[in-house]
Each structure stands twice: as C-alpha cells, then as structure tokens.
Amino acid sequence: MHKAIHTLEQVNEWRKNTMMEHLGIEITEIGDKYLCGKMPVDHRTHQPMGLLHGGASVALAETLASLGAALQVDLATKACVGLEINANHVRGVREGWVYGKSSAVHVGRTTQIWETVISNEAGDLVCLSRMTVAVIDKKG
C-alpha cells in the first residue's frame, strides 16, 4: 500500500475551518505510527464548572487517532473513519495546555486501533482513550 509522506506543516493545514481550528488543537509531532498534539484549556474547551470538558478531550483523542490513521494509508484511494471511541477521564485541568500522543496498536488493511494518552503540563495522566478506525475506499 503506497502512502504519501506528509510534513507537520501540511497536516496542520488540514486544521483550517474545522473543529480542530475552533478548539485550538495543533499537531506538534509526526512519527512512525504515532502523532502528537496539544490543545488549550480555556473558554473554548471548558465545561460550566471551569474544568476541561471531557468531550474536548475526546475531540483531541479522535483528532489525533484519525489523523494518525489517515497517515498510514494512500489518501488518494482510501479514507479513515471512526467506528468507536472510548475515554477514561482521570484528572481535571483548569487552565494551560493538555498534550496528546496517539499511537497505533494495530494497522490493518480494513481496520486500525489507536490509543491516545492525554496529559497535563506536569505530565500527569488526564485521559486515556482507544479508537477503532475503519479504512474504506473513497467513492469515485
């Protein structure tokens, strides 16, 4: 399976006019079967009590896993779509940044499984997520 090489700048261009841009998610590193990113903890990502919204953590996890999966395939002919995601929320965060690292657990022809670890600025675990991705043919 042929896949293109994408630079950090190219992948961050995909943010434009998406939820990634709205939430302030940035991709910080691309590696072999992993992807890292960060997200601010501010008015865009807070829940009403002033803590990081669990849904924002899941949005970060799904973003990193989806992009990581997409970088494993030939995007001219294939697309990666989420089938299932789960998340364990371990620690609250009120301000600053959270950092995510999504790593491939399984990269198959039709499915991929990605695990995302999200931590706070001190390196403490905030959220642990696992996502199953379907690899589908692009429609003509």
| Residue 26: active-site member | no
Phi/psi for 113 (5° steps) reads -125, 130
Q: How far is CA 65 from the centre of its chain?
A: 4
The C-alpha atoms of residue 107 and residue 28 are separated, in whole angstroms, by 22
Structure tokens at 48: 């009403």
Instruction: Say which DSSP state 52 is in.
Output: B
The identity of residue 86, as a single letter, is: N
Measure the CA–CA gap between 94 and 110, rounded to whole angstroms: 39
Detail the DSSP E strand segments found in 32-75. Answer: 34-41
Q: How far apart are CA 116 and CA 65, in angstroms?
A: 7
- Catalytic option among 13, 21, 29, 62: 62
Please list the active-site residues.
62
